[in-house]
Amino acid sequence: MEVKINRLKRYFGLTRAVDDISFSFSSGEIVAFIGSNGAGKTTTMRILATLDEPTEGDVELDGVSAVNHPEQVRKLIGYMPDSLPTHRDMTVHEYLDFFARAYSIPSEKRAQTIDDVQSFTGLGDIRNNTLHSLSKGMKQRVSLGRALIHDPPVMVMDEPAAGLDPRARIELRELLRILADQGKAILISSHILTELSEICGGAVIIEKGKIAVAGTLDEILSQQAPQTVLAVRPAGGLEEARQALMLLPNVENVAVVGNELEARISGGEEEASQILSELMKQGIQIAEFKRRGGDLESLFMQITGKEDEGNGK
C-alpha cells in the first residue's frame, strides 16, 4: 500500500494552513510528521482521513483518491485523532462494538475481532469500564483499538503520545513497532521528537503549511545538519578547556552550560574525533565527550529557527 500526498493545499480564507505539500510513504514504514503548533499537521491528517476536503491537490492510497472516493479510503485508513473518547454512557467494549458494526464486520467475526483488538491493546481487563472513567493512557489505547478495528493497511495518528506517562509511551512505541512489522503504513505526528527518532524510518517536517524537509531519517539528518554540537565535560578546569577549544580549527562557538561545554563545530564525526585528539594532546583531561548534533530535535530547532530568522523574529 502506497500513500501519496500530491500538491496538497488547504486554505481557510486567507490563511494557508497547508500550502502545496507532497510526500509519500508505504507499507511497513513509520513516518514522523513533525511541525510546530499550527504548522498544518492536523489539517493534512484530517484530509488524509477524508474528514476535510483540500482546496487543491489530492491524497491517493494505491491510486484511490481521498477526494473522489472518500468512502473507499475510509476502509483503508485507521485514524486516531488527537481528541479522545469521553462518553459517560458507553463502555470500552460497546465503543469498539459500535465501530466494528459501523465498519460492517459480520456478527460471526465481530466478537473475535473485538477480542483480538482488546488483547492487542491491553484493554481486556477494562472492557466493561465506561470511557469517561479511564485514564488518558487507557483512552489512547481505546482510540488505537478503534482505529485498528477494521484492520486498515494505513494508520494516521495525530499526537498519540500526548499526555502519556513514560511507561505508556514505551508501550505505545512497542505497539507501533508491531504494527509496522505487520506491514501497516503509519504516519504519526508528535512533539516528542526523541521518541519519534527511535521508531520512525522517515520524517516530514512541516512549517507554516510547507514542507521544510522530507526523507528517510538518515538522509535528512546528514543533509540538514552541517553543524554538530559537542558536549564536553572536562575533568579539570572548565575555563582552561574552553580556551583550548576556542583555538581549535572547525570550532565556531563554545558556551558553558552547567558543568559542561557546548561547542558548535562545522563538520561531522571526523572533525569531532580530531577535536578530541587535539584536546588530549594539549593535556586537557576529558571526563565525557559526546556528539549532540544530528538528532531530530536539533534539526527541528534548526529549521524552525531559520524560519523565524527569515521572518525577522
Partner 1 sequence: MRLNAVLRKFDSRMNPIVVKELRQISRGKFLPVILIGFLFTQLTVTGAAILYNRGSANPGLLLYQTLFSFLTGVCSVLIPAYAGFRLAQERSGANKDLLFISTLKPASIVLGKALSAAILAALIYSVCMPFIAMTYILRGIDLPSAFLQLFVSYVMMLLIIHVGIMIACLPMSRGMIGLTYIFLILWGLVVGFVDIWNSGSNLLVAALSKIDLAEALGLVGILTLWMGAVFSISAALLAPPSSNRALVPRVYVSAAWAVSLVGVLVWCEMNGSYRQIFGWMSSCAALFAFALIFSVSERNKLGARVRETIPRSRGRRAFAFLFYSGSAGGFLWASIGLVLTIAVGSVAVSAASATVSSSQFEEALSILCRTSLYAWIGTTGAVLILHKFLKSQRNDFHDWTIALVIMMVFAWIMSDWPIAAVAAVAAAMVCLCIPWIIRHASAFKPLPLKTAGT
Q: How many Cβ atoms sit within 10 Å of the Cβ of residue 56?
A: 14
Q: Nearer to partner 1 by C-beta: 86 or 222?
A: 86
Q: Nearer to partner 1 by C-beta: 106 or 310?
A: 106
Q: Nearer to partner 1 by C-beta: 51 or 162?
A: 51
CB of 67 to partner 1, least distance (A): 6
CB of 179 to partner 1, least distance (A): 18
CB of 69 to partner 1, least distance (A): 8
Q: How many Cβ atoms sit within 10 Å of the Cβ of residue 274?
A: 15
Q: Nearer to partner 1 by C-beta: 99 or 120?
A: 99
CA distances from 300 to 25, 197, 224, 305 (A): 20, 12, 10, 8
Q: What are phi and psi of 271, to 5 degrees?
A: -65, -35
CB of 188 to partner 1, least distance (A): 17
Residues that bind partner 1 (CB under 8 A): 46, 49-51, 53, 58, 65, 67-71, 74-75, 79, 81, 83-87, 89-90, 94, 97-99, 101-104, 106-108, 146
CA gap 4, 23 in Å, rounded: 6
Q: Nearer to partner 1 by C-beta: 132 or 290?
A: 132
CB of 111 to partner 1, least distance (A): 11
Q: How many Cβ atoms sit within 10 Å of the Cβ of residue 64?
A: 14
Q: Nearer to partner 1 by C-beta: 156 or 299?
A: 156
What residue type is 117 in one-letter code? V
CA gap 95, 28 in Å, rounded: 28
Host H or E run for residue 73: helix 70-76
CA gap 197, 292 in Å, rounded: 14
Cell of 157: 495518528
CB of 72 to partner 1, least distance (A): 9
Longest Cα–Cα distance in the chain: 76
> Starting from the edge strand earliest in sequence, which strands make up the sheet with 286-291, in order?
251-257, 260-266, 227-234, 286-291
Q: Nearer to partner 1 by C-beta: 156 or 254?
A: 156
* Residues near 214 by beta carbon (within 8 Å), at least 6 away in sequence: 23, 202, 203, 204, 205, 220
Q: How many Cβ atoms sit within 10 Å of the Cβ of residue 269?
A: 10
Q: Nearer to partner 1 by C-beta: 86 or 112?
A: 86
Q: What are phi and psi of 137, to 5 degrees?
A: -60, -40
Cell of 267: 563538520
Do the Cβ atoms of 189 and 33 come closer than 8 Å?
A: yes
CB of 87 to partner 1, least distance (A): 7
CB of 201 to partner 1, least distance (A): 26
